[in-house]
A and B are shown apart, each in its own frame.
Chain A
Amino acid sequence: MRALVAMSGGVDSSVAAALMLEQGHDVIGVTLKQWEGPDGAMPTAGCCTLSDAEDARRVAAQLDIPYYVLDYVEEFTRAVVEPFVASYLKGLTPNPCIECNRNVRFSALLERTEELGCDVLVTGHHARIENHDGVFRLRRATDPEKDQSYVLHMLNQGALARIRLPVGEMTKTEVRGYAAKLGLRTAGKPDSQDICFVTSGDYRDFLAQQEPSVAAPGAVLDMEGNVVGEHLGTARFTIGQRRGIGVAVGEARYVVEIEPAAQTITIGTYDDLLTERCVATQMSFTDRPPALGDTVGVKTRYRSEAVPARVVATGARWEVAFAEPEPRPAPGQSLVLYEGEYVLGGGVIVDGRRRVAPVL
């Protein structure tokens, strides 16, 4: 079998390449050039930088596999960066990694895999793909701390059949140990935490560079609609955000509403943030969707535990009812449905209380 390994220059994809090689496959390494500065150079800070590509190239050389850098700047800009900016302007909280997986990695690159004469696409994601009598299932990673199944929920049967995630079977410690044993330069490299195209500061600085209008100030309102402060742009906030609101009132306050049109944010107590429902559109499923009335596990953000919820609406707009009230999910993030360890599918969270179309 010939495997195309997407190598980011990190330890996980380095080990993924090494494992495929160890299993006796022909392996080709590629790094995706996804973002560049105005001078066409790859970023030098953040992740997916020039030095990351260099690490990937050196690991490929050590493993003695062919290695190429593929230019996906145009696709990435169109499918990830532009919608990212547009989403924040509409008061949403996008997840660019998911959009990249949906529109670049596991679509454009998956197509390219075949064009390059490769049978499977391999990444260093921490999740597992299992073949259950011809039905491919996406399962949480062996290492619960590193599980990335949430950001892979869009994979369907066709994709799952052509993807391999060899490090999903290992804990991060095992991955690092394996890399160290092989003497790979990436063995001790820290995990990337940032959004890859945000090369300096945080996403707010990036937004301000891309779209100066995000800095439009506005009012901070309380639950009764009284002005209790001022903010420096609605795009700086996420539903559920607690820090950086800049309004001091005795009890902790959370962002419960973002209204870009009125340039206001509304803050409230933790109780004000709680909701019983979550609505999502653009749902896709790894195999068959759950039925109306089924109880599933749901995750509404990358870093949270799955909580039980019941499917109360299907079709163009899926709706789940939480068993216990939950902090309101941020529109733009993904609603991902689980059956125990297995991902059933997911979609993009929309504001359930108002019927607005999502941007993503």
Chain B
Amino acid sequence: MLYLDHAATTTMRPEALEALDEAHHRFNANASGQHSDARAAKNALEDARERAAGLLGMDQPHGIVFTGSGTEADNLAVIGASLASQRRTVAFSGIEHKAVLNAAGSLKRFGYVLHVLPVTSDGVIDRDAVSLVAGREPALVSVMLANNEVGTLQPLLEIAQQLREQDPQIVLHTDAVQAFSSQEVTFPRTGVDMISLSAHKFGGPKGVGLLAVAPGVTIEPLIHGGGHEAGRRAGTQNVAGIVAMVAAMEAAAQDRAGFTTRVGAERDAFEGVIVAQHRGAVVTAGTAHRLPHISHMRFPGVLAETFLIRLDMSGIAAAAGSACQSGAVEPSHVLTAMGYDDVATGQFVRFSFGWDSAEGDGLRAASVVLDVLRDL
């Protein structure tokens, strides 16, 4: 099987696996306890918090809130910051992950007004729309650093500066889940107030993520209970998962330049061959700034649902749209936001490479994909 679905989840990095295994043995105690085992776990937890904060360019580790997933981090950011604000408008781009879209949607019943920032056909936020939204006094603006389906990068720092000039009170959030492996994700480089991350997208385990919150930004907790995570997220901390996540963060951060070169080369080789040899194949947002590991393409006349099954049968794991509850492929809201109609949205497939993609995977995959296309 040639695994080209790393954007869905990627292989665990050896550093993370090792840290996970070690922490399960050494730091299994409840970090909130009053004994030496608990202190060891608590120490590992706070050490991880400091290292994570350092990687994100934060002066103080306090702003790191460990969560159970990237989705939870997005929910905490969007709902938590909105509930903590006096304002009642929430803005986000139309290509956000469903974790942001549906978290914002859940606020409607509490009287919040939602404002969607439109994107261009390249999946980049319309800058005129940015100045427009500032005038609406939003509590929160959420813009992802890079899109998880098509891979386009947003000029987040410029958007942040533009918004702050117009309205210094806006709280800015970014879902950097898909970007972390290749982009320098820090507060100074993104210009935002909150950053969501998910461990399993950069080589950590599933079931753990974090929300980094800049000093001075208040959020209401969503999960109530004990005083864990400084009262912002109750529940016994998953110390092993957290330690493993931070080990993966460090490994991924160190590997960014290499990742971009290596993985980007495989992706480019893959796209090059397919576009050259399959008539009509088009790379989505091909001229925009994109993540190096995602290849999102349209094959006109080829139904993605059928194509994916044929690829699976030929040993290639790829993706299209997002899976619904039942596992059926749903039309992508991202493509709809980019202006594609219903017929077109059914014809896109995402191939995503990962940190452990081998040299030659791009060409090998392209050859199988072309075989399947010829046979369809």
Which residues of A are found within 8 Å of B329, using beta-carbon distances? 71
> Is B276 an interface position by the 8 A CB rule?
no
10 A-B pairs with least C-beta separation: A69-B328, A69-B327, A71-B328, A33-B328, A53-B326, A42-B326, A69-B326, A115-B306, A33-B326, A68-B309
**Nearest-CB distance from A7 to chain B (Å)?**
12
> Is B310 an interface position by the 8 A CB rule?
yes
Which residues of B are found within 8 Å of A31, using beta-carbon distances? 326
Residues of chain B in range 303-358 having any CB-CB distance to chain A below 8 Å? 303, 305-306, 309-310, 312-313, 324-330
**Nearest-CB distance from A196 to chain B (Å)?**
14
What is the size category of the interface that chain B forms with chain A? 10 to 19
The chain A residues found within 8 Å of chain B, CB to CB, are: 28, 31, 33, 40-42, 50, 53, 57, 66, 68-71, 112, 115-117
Q: State which of A28, A41, A53, A66 has its C-beta within 8 Å of the C-beta of B327.
A: A53
Which residues of B are found within 8 Å of A42, using beta-carbon distances? 324-326
Structural contact, B310 and A57, CB atoms closer than 8 A: no
The chain B residues found within 8 Å of chain A, CB to CB, are: 303, 305-306, 309-310, 312-313, 324-330, 375-376
Which residues of A are found within 8 Å of B327, using beta-carbon distances? 53, 57, 68-69
Structural contact, A70 and B305, CB atoms closer than 8 A: yes
Structural contact, A71 and B375, CB atoms closer than 8 A: no
Structural contact, A70 and B376, CB atoms closer than 8 A: no
Looking at chain A's contact residues, is the secondary structure mostly helix, strand, loop, or mixed? mixed
**Nearest-CB distance from B276 to chain A (Å)?**
25
**Nearest-CB distance from A267 to chain B (Å)?**
44
CA distance A33 to B328 in the complex (A): 7
CA distance A161 to B166 in the complex (A): 69
Structural contact, A41 and B325, CB atoms closer than 8 A: yes
**Nearest-CB distance from A50 to chain B (Å)?**
6
**Nearest-CB distance from B270 to chain A (Å)?**
23
CA distance A106 to B66 in the complex (A): 51
CA distance A117 to B313 in the complex (A): 9
| CB nearest neighbor in B for A72 | B328
29 A-B residue pairs with CB within 8 Å: A28-B309, A28-B313, A33-B328, A40-B324, A40-B330, A41-B325, A42-B324, A42-B325, A50-B325, A50-B326, A53-B327, A57-B327, A66-B309, A66-B312, A66-B313, A68-B312, A68-B327, A69-B327, A70-B305, A71-B305, A71-B328, A71-B329, A71-B330, A115-B303, A115-B306, A115-B310, A115-B376, A116-B309, A117-B313
CA distance A40 to B327 in the complex (A): 12
CA distance A117 to B306 in the complex (A): 10
CA distance A115 to B330 in the complex (A): 20
**Nearest-CB distance from A219 to chain B (Å)?**
44
Output the residue of B303, B309, B324, B326 with the most chain A CB within 10 A. B326
**Nearest-CB distance from A78 to chain B (Å)?**
13
**Nearest-CB distance from A22 to chain B (Å)?**
21
